[in-house]
Amino acid sequence: QSALTQPASVSGSPGQSITISCTGTSSDVADYNYVSWYQQHPGEAPKLMIYDVTNRPSGVSDRFSGSKSGNTASLTISGLQAEDEADYYCTSYTSRSTYVFGTGTKVTVL
């Protein structure tokens, strides 16, 4: 099972919006609305930001939103803040009843 494809890095200025893409296949992203997104700061455990493509757990800022079109899911961070600088990973449930993570994206706040 190959990792989902994410851009290695995305950057933006404070207050701007950025979007991170996550491209999979017909065996995962395209076939299931089970894409989730995680934020990981250095030295910390991942934190769930979005589940089932568009849902935000309680306590997660509404500046984070998710969407999907075909085999590509996206995470948008609006009103970018310094604290958003972190690594972000997508994951999808697959047709083999497993999960596959994305390659990860480093977000830099300029």
CA 28 – CA 84 distance, rounded (Å)? 27
Out of 26, 70, 81, 99, the only residue in the binding site for another protein (CB under 8 A) is: 99
- Determine, following the binding rule CB under 8 A, whether residue 60 of this chain makes contact with another protein: no
- Determine, following the binding rule CB under 8 A, whether residue 45 of this chain makes contact with another protein: yes
Distance of CA 98 to the CA centre of its chain: 18
The number of CA neighbours under 13 Å toward the Cβ of 49 is 25
- Determine, following the binding rule CB under 8 A, whether residue 104 of this chain makes contact with another protein: yes
Window 2-41: residues binding another protein (CB under 8 A): 3, 32, 34, 36, 38, 40
Strand order in the sheet with 18-23: 18-23, 72-77, 64-69
Out of 12, 46, 64, 76, the only residue in the binding site for another protein (CB under 8 A) is: 46
Where do runs of H (alpha helix) occur along 1-110?
Answer: none
Residues of this chain that bind another protein (CB under 8 A): 1, 3, 32, 34, 36, 38, 40, 45-48, 51-52, 55, 57, 89, 91, 93, 96-104
